[in-house]
Amino acid sequence: DAHDSNSTFTSTCVNSRQPRDDKDIEAVRTFLRDAIYNFTNRAAGLEQWYEKLPLGPGTSFEFGLSLTANMRRVKGDWIELSEGDGTRVLPTWLSTQNYRKEYGFFNFFQASHGQVVHQRFQDDPSGTNATTAINSRCLVVYDIDGNQFYVPASCRQDAVQLTGVLHRAASGMNMYTRILLKTVESGTPITATQALTSEMLPPFARHYHVQQKLPFQAAREMQERAHGLLLQKEIHRQPQDPSLHPLIWMNANQVLLGQQKREWNSISWALWKLCRNVYGPELTPSFSEMCFG
C-alpha cells in the first residue's frame, strides 16, 4: 500500500528511537544543523559543476531523503559501502557509515533527468503521489531489504536552480570575466542580461547546445557593474587594454561570488525546509541558527 510505504519511509528516516528529553532533542537539532551545512558543502564540490552545468539560467536539482543514499545494489540487495570493497574510486568516496554520520539520509539528483544512484522515477499507479514538479512522476527508493517505497511529498522539496558556478573552485576560473569584458566592449550594459554568445563563455562552457543566460539576479548585478565601468572614461575608450583587466576580473568575480552564495543558500534552505516537514519544528534547528544570508 502506497500510504503505508510512505509512513514507513518517513518513520525510518526520523529514526525509530524518538528523542525523550531536552538533551536528546538538542542532539538531533545539532546533528541536522551540521548535516545541512556539511551536505551543502558536499553538493558544491561533489562534481566538476563548472564543466557539467551551463552558466544559466539554471538546471533543476531536487534534494531529499533516501534510505539507500551512498549504498550499492548487488543482486537485488542493498549493500553498504566499506573500506576494501573495491568501490573507492573518487576522492569524495565515503563509507556508508561515515556518510550517515556526516549527512544522515540526504541525497540529491538532477530533476530534469530523473536519474540518481539508488533512486528512480516511475508512474504512480495510485495517482496519490503525483507531483507537478517532474511530469507527475513519483520518486521510488528501496530499503536495505529491497522493499520499494514511494517517496512522499514531505520527503522532497521544490527543485533548486543551480549553475556551473556552484563549485567551490569556480571563483578562480574566470567564469564571468568574459561576460563583463564583452559587455563593456559593447558599450551597452544591458548586454549582460541577454543570451550569452560563445565568445562570452569560458572554453569549458561552450559545448552546451542550449541558450545560456545569466540567472536574473546575477545578470542585473553584472549590468550594474558594466554601467559603473563604462562611466570611467579610460574603460570606455580602451576596454581591451590589458591593464584594465584586473578591474574587470574583480567586478566579474564579485558578481560570481554573489551568485555562488545564493546557490549554496538555496541548497541549505531546501534541506532546512525538508527537515521541518519530516522531522518537525521541534527537532529542526531554528531559522536563526542556520545563518542564511
Q: What is the pTM of this model?
A: 0.79
The pLDDT, as a whole number, for residue 289 is: 84
pLDDT at 4 over 60: no
Share of the chain above pLDDT 90, in %: 34
Task: Give 87-103 pLDDT, tens digit per residue.
Answer: 888 888 899 999 999 99
Please give the average per-residue pLDDT across 135-160, as a whole number: 63
What nine digits make up the cell of 280?
A: 518537525
